[in-house]
A and B are shown apart, each in its own frame.
Chain A
Amino acid sequence: MWAHVVYVAFLVFLGYFLILIGFYIFLAIFGFIEDKKREWEREEENYPLVYFSDLTIPVSIIIPAHNEEVWIRDSVMSLLNLNYPAYEVIIVDDGSTDGTFPILKEMLDLKAMDIIYTKHYKDGDVINILKSAKYPNISVIHKLGGMKKAGAVNAGLNLSKYDYVCVMDADTILEQDALIKVMAQIGREPDKVIGIGSAFGLSNGMKIKDGRIINRSFSTDPLIAYQNLEYIRSFIGNRLAWSKFNTMPNVAGGFGVWRKDILYELGGFSSYFTCEDIELTFRVHDYIARNKEKGYKILMMPYYVGWTEGPSNVTSLIKQRDRWQRVVIETVWQYKHMLCNPKYKGFGFLVYPYFILYEVLGVFFEVASIAFVTVGWITRQLDTNTFFAFLSLMALTQFILSLLCLHTFVRGQKVFKTGYTIYLLFLSSIEFFFYRPIISIAKLFGTYHYMKGVRIYDQYTRVKR
């Protein structure tokens, strides 16, 4: 009997990893094709024409900030340096208890503004709306916390005046050409593109002054380097491929542009969930399918548009990934009707099963398969040869995934120097043994906290610079 159970379990785990390899190859191939197309488009686009055209679409940039005293100055300065002809910046101080608001007040010379403020979107309690006396296109909403990032973004939406909104994190430093690259893409088909995201990396290790990156040295701390690798896998290796089939599952909260009419239809961001970005993207897909809207696109761009701070110690990393795992499960559960539903086409048949298999259940398969072979080996149900063969399979699967993504990344980007890329290559070869266990632990915590009903947005502590 026990031997039979072991046999079936072994088959299941082996099958899982083979399906995973199939998914990786599929994503890598289409990610590569999409990356190549976008890179060519970028090279050939006439950005000065976009910059000087009256028809270039103005954008409202919304930055929700909660206790961001470490980054807020540079983040705002990076926005002032943007090469874009028409944009407004709305910073939402979401109940900060640190120096965020005083910093904003001092650097922007804020003055209270009497304004008609319509609450189209649920935003919580707004204390005051202020305008910068120095920079006429910057406004600050001072509000009480309590409705998570979603409430803060909704407050920004209520004040925003343009048809496209760019939502970004307060610890993100944007590249000068970030907005023009992304909006040029939207400008081609403004009637179709309703959401767009783009890649960004980690700013840890960089020297930043007044919102400008003065030294692009990437951190060699393995924990940071592994996160850089993960970002490449996520943005370049994964979402680009989904974007090709118009099934992009997540316009990241760190940088994403949305057309406001779709947000209006959906009532803005939802504070019911732990995080807001992935849930909103799923909701948009749901809305489009339910209303049989045709021709709409949610795109992912491979351009590195900005840099954000990543957790610099294991505890913070676990805290962050715990939160990410929770929101993934919350979203997958909320939109369970999409699974293999013909109405949702590729989203229902590919993205959703991928999310269940890899994002939700993946950690259980990984942990259970390791536990299974280890226990089997210790109890002498499995011989040593099988034990090592199976472990090698798991480690190599992980390594090949990274390699495929790095290939696409190196072809299109000149973000990292050759030495750093080789360093990432080396780290990815041993990721399964060192970094992967940390992420698995975080995901298990996330699942456990989800089961317990935890829905808080627990921000990790920013490192003083």
Chain B
Amino acid sequence: MNNYFTETVWKIDVVLLFIAVFLTILLIARMVFKNYLDNRRAQKLLSIKKNVYDLILSGKKIEKNIAFPLKDLEPNIFLDIATNRNRESAFFNKSEQEILKEYFADKKHIPKLEKIVNKSGNKWSRIEVILSIGYCEIDSLLPALKKSLWDNDEDIAYFTILALAQLKTLDSAKTLLDFLKTRSFYRSKIVSVFGQFPHEISGETMELVKSENPTVRFWGIKVLTEIKTHQYLHEIEQFTKDKSAEIRSAACECLGASGNKNVVPALEACLKDEMWLVRMSAVKAIERILGTDSISIIIPLIKDNSWFVIDSAKNVIAKHIESAIPPIEKILEGKDELAKKICIEAIETSGYVSRLYRDIFSGDTDKKKRALSILSNILKSSPGYGLQTALYDLNKDEMLAVLQAFKTINKEWVEAVEAKLGVKI
């Protein structure tokens, strides 16, 4: 009988067993301790909540010497309170949060927070404080945030962006714009946070838009779009003639977001741009500004040579189908098969076919005549596209009446539908 390395294997077993027992005890202790800490934290927050209630009920203005249960603030609790994170049991309403923010923004806490942001070796502790500064809107710590924004660690930079977005001041906007100018990552995120900023930052942003660098110009215009600026529209109009198609497209979006009718001529000019991307953005922007009135400008775009432009024009038509019906009727009577198809798709997408069916049975002779004319044209132009789906909304008698009316136009289609629906005229 052999005993290969038995001693060695037993030794490994003993080590593994020791590790297993140690890990087991550690795991159980950890779970119990974690539960205890969570409960304790929740209790502390509840005590703060009670104090705040008492304070509000007493009608006193907050003073520096009010004794909250936590004299030495931990950043994570600080952040919990400011944002109500993960703590439904300790929910604070807006006015309570304001009181707390005022207390936590007390000058005596600021050096401590600044020290953590600038010097802490634990990056996530830094991040917690960075966010706390943002949520508590402690403007005086902006220099610390400016520094952390340029940190080599992408996580710290990312959460500083979020914190600066909470401050919503001109200075914090400038800091973000500077960052946007030179760093390539998180640009989309930065632009998204500008939705929360006041319009006053438009001036600063315009400086960015005037940059020689096309990427900076592009993102600058994106920021202006996000804040829906009403200023500098004339300057932005100039960018609809920029060398870069992306910038021309972004300028169209920006003008559309302004909602100002004065920019429509510039956008109309963009409908003739050589790049489909610009034409598509112009279609969307014009619709955003003029709404229903945009139909007469947009409807010719269904003959565009780019499917993307055609599709956006079709969507506009479908959205404002009532206004689009008169020009559509003309197109359906014409000879351009592709244009007819687009119009029919728009009618189908908008659900207008059901409305036409209802008009047939409305009792109004004019409505019935018009509905039948449009439906007949649809049936002639495209074999039944969208007509069958809407039949489901009718009762059996109405269904049969419609099919009867269609039989003279396209017998084959009617028979196919009869077979599918299981009805017979």
Contacts and interface: CB of A to CB of B under 8 A. Distances in A.
A binds B: yes
Contacts of B159: 44
Contact of A410 (B2, B34, B392): B34
Interface stretch (B24-32, B138-146, B170-178): B24-32
A411 B30 contact: yes
B94 to A, nearest CB: 14
Nearest to B1: A383
B27 A425 contact: yes
Interface string A398-421: 011001101100110000001001
Given A114-B388, A407-B27, A383 B155 contact: no
Interface in A350-384: 380-383
Interface in A383-397: 383, 385-386, 389-390, 392-393, 396-397
Contacts of B388: 112, 114
A54 B158 contact: no
Contacts of A189: 185
B195 A112 contact: no
A342 B222 CA distance: 41
A54 B13 contact: no
**Main DSSP-derived SS at the A contact region:** helix
B23 A393 contact: no
Contacts of B185: 189
A404 B23 contact: yes
Nearest to B5: A14
A49 B186 CA distance: 14
Interface residues of B, number: 53
B228 to A, nearest CB: 10
Contacts of B35: 418
B386 interface: yes
Contacts, number: 132
Contacts of B355: none
B392 A389 contact: no
A296 interface: no
A382 B1 contact: yes
A422 B28 contact: yes
Nearest to A392: B13
B162 A406 contact: no
Given A40-B127, A382-B1, A382-B4, A396 B32 contact: no
Interface in B175-229: 185-186, 188-189, 191-193, 195-196, 226
Interface residues of A toward B: which range?
A: 35 or more
Contacts of A14: 5, 9
Given A404-B23, A410-B31, A385 B158 contact: no
Interface string A44-59: 1110010011111000
Interface of A: 3, 6-7, 10-11, 14, 18, 21, 37, 40-41, 43-46, 49, 52-56, 111-114, 116, 187-190, 380-383, 385-386, 389-390, 392-393, 396-397, 399-400, 403-404, 406-407, 410-411, 418, 421-422, 425, 429
Closest 6 CB pairs of A and B: A53-B192, A396-B16, A389-B9, A403-B23, A55-B192, A386-B6
30 contacts: A6-B2, A7-B4, A14-B9, A40-B127, A44-B162, A49-B193, A53-B195, A55-B188, A55-B189, A56-B192, A112-B389, A113-B389, A114-B348, A114-B385, A187-B188, A187-B192, A380-B1, A382-B1, A382-B4, A383-B6, A386-B4, A389-B6, A392-B13, A393-B12, A397-B16, A403-B23, A407-B30, A421-B27, A422-B31, A425-B28
